[in-house]
Structure 1
Amino acid sequence: MNQAELERSPVRSRNGKLRVLVIDDNPDDRVLLADFLGQQEYRVYVAADGLDGVRKTQLVQPDLILMDITLPICDGLAACRQIKANPATQAIPLIFVTAAVEPLERVAGLMAGAIDYILKPFDLEELRLRLKIHMLNKAVRPHEDDSVILNETARNLDVVLFRSARAIVHANLAETPDMQALAKSVGTNARRLTLAFQRCVGLSAAEYVREKRLKKAKQLLTETSLEVGSIAEMVGFSGGANFSTAFRLRFGVTPSNLRQSRRTGAPHGFHPDSCATA
């Protein structure tokens, strides 16, 4: 498999670009995604079936994977499980881009290791924003060295302010201070701190906090037996209804759906098949 077979980007790539692997058997969707991602200055690779997608994931080591579920040779769920079972590729964030709309189908994808769903027909602006959020999660992690900041326009002071504010956010997810108080805690004003967040991660402080709260909630739902209401309070949501709505919009399933799948095992129709090897 040579480089010409591997890479398909409408814009000639430069070193240092973030890499996205698109795995989809629909040629129209592949072209649309490749064109759009190229315009967003990602380096784009493509695969047309699940088995080829697994191989290219191992070879390319992309920063993020966009994959359909209904694929020939090896379906998306099986391909996802293989990618997540391999220590060399298990940390790569994977998003399903699919027409699957049933909660159990989405739960199956999350259980297989996907971090998000984007529904077809997809909205390109939604796709852009979700990619930005997930690239943030990969580039800036709460318990690791994050010297690589997503936005190259960030300055030294921006990084210092962002890291200081981030530490406070992670320590106080249940009661994160408002922007004025957060800025005062790190020795600046709200306007300057907002600029630091935008330069460092391309998100407002509120968007960053919301994402971290929902990611923490997902972790607690899958790894603990805490009640859904208790988890909502722990991550800073004032009511169960607000939490459920926000969680469903973010992950495509309600907290109860995800919790039920943990108690009963894999959803109906979720089979532990694996990709054939050649």
Structure 2
Amino acid sequence: MAEFSLPSGCDALPGQSILVVDDEESVRTLLAEFLQTLGYRVRLANDGQEGVHKAQVLRPDAILMDVRMPVCDGVAACRLLKATPATRDIPVIFITAASLPQERVAGLMVGAVDYITHPFDLEEIRLRLAIHLKPPPDEAREQGDPAAPLPSCTARLDVALFEAARARLLDDLAHPPQLQALAASIGTNAKRLNAAFKQCVGVTVFDYLREVRMKTALRLLSETSLEVQQISHALGYGSTANFSTAFRERFGVAPRQFRKARHSGVD
């Protein structure tokens, strides 16, 4: 059985629930153990059909789902989830061994927000969840419950630094400040800010910014008619070629190829 050390700081989103849908028991077990060390509540499903049913009943905060499964595959299950009002807003992240661009595009087209290539890196899963999940409201604190546990001082500082820097980055993705300037603007230094990001989302400021840009690129290509050059400029890339390379490395297809497939209705 795999063993994981409990991460320190704030890299968990305690209490949030993740539904893991995979037909391989070893994968379900591995993911469940890892996610539980991060503070998540984990629910399991053996195939897409069971995954859809449990998602409708349990309303998880996110779904990690294999693509190739018996009974009901991941693409079909995601399509059903997105067609149902109660589950359409739950972020679905595919775990897939798909190497062909059209297979990856098919998953994104039916509503998945991201995909992770199998065999996967557990730290990548932590990052993807951090990107796509929103921290839950601290209801106990909002209601003035004095018995609600407080995070450690270090964890609270990490959260404060992360949230302040994140807000500044999201404010203008086209012109993000340099790391030193970003750190100085919130009263810290570059080394301490990177440490806070690693505690909260498992990656450096630069890696987090790159992921947010890619997530935004996917949305803009899917939901707007902006030209690829315009999207590249809006996200702060020096050239369309650089943007296209980064997008291809992240999603396995070029931006224009993704948009063409989406508009042609390939699934």
Fraction of identical pairs, as percent: 48
1:23 corresponds in structure 2 to 21
What per-residue deviation string (whole Å, max 9, x for no partner) do you get for residues 214-268 of structure 1? 111111111222221221121011233332232223233221221112332x11x
Regions of 4+ moved over 6 Å: 145-148
SS in 2 for 1:110: helix
Counterparts of 2:196 and 2:138, CA distance in 1 = 15
Partners of 2:242 and 2:47 in 1: CA distance: 38
Cα distance change of structure 1 residues 146 and 214 upon mapping to structure 2, 3 Å threshold: farther
- Which is further off, 28-37 or 220-229? 28-37
Match of 1:131 among 121, 126, 129: 126
CA gap of 1:158–1:246, structure 2 versus 1, over 3 A, is same
Task: Look up the SS of the partner of 1:139 in the other structure.
Answer: coil
**2:166 corresponds to:** 166
TM value normalised by structure 1: 0.76
Deviation for aligned residue 1:127: 3.5
Amino acid at match of 2:243: F
> Is the Cα contact below 8 Å between 1:21 and 1:66 reproduced in 2?
yes
Cα deviation, 1:170-216, whole Å, max 9, x if unaligned, reads 12211211111112222332233333333443332112211111111
Q: Assess if the C-alpha contact under 8 Å between 2:123 and 2:202 holds in 1.
A: no
Q: Quote the residue 1:45 is aligned against.
A: 43
Secondary structure of the residue aligned to 1:230 is: helix
Check 1:28–1:116 CA distance in 2 against 1; reply closer, same or farther (3 A cut).
same
Q: What displacement does 1:37 show?
A: 4.2
- Uncovered stretches (5+) of structure 2, i.e. residues with no partner: 5-13, 140-150
Give 1:114-263 correspondences, 5 Å limit: 114-120=112-118, 122-123=119-120, 126-140=121-135, 155-263=155-263
Give the CA deviation at 1:156: 4.2
1:3 corresponding residue in structure 2 = none
Deviations 1:78-112 (A, max 9, x none): 21012122232222221222232211111111011
**Counterparts in 2 of 1:44 and 1:217: CA distance versus 1, 3 Å:** same
Q: Which residue of structure 1 lines up, in the alignment, with residue 9 of structure 2?
A: none
The amino acid that maps onto 2:256 is S
Task: Indicate the SS of the match to 1:67.
Answer: strand
Q: Which amino acid aligns with 2:61?
A: D
TM-score (normalised: structure 2): 0.78
Query: Aligned in 2, Cα 1:35/1:167: closer, same or farther, shift over 3 Å?
Result: closer
Which segments of 5 or more consecutive residues in structure 1 lack a partner in the other structure? 1-9, 271-278
* Count of matched residue pairs: 245
Give how far 1:169 is off. Answer: 1.0
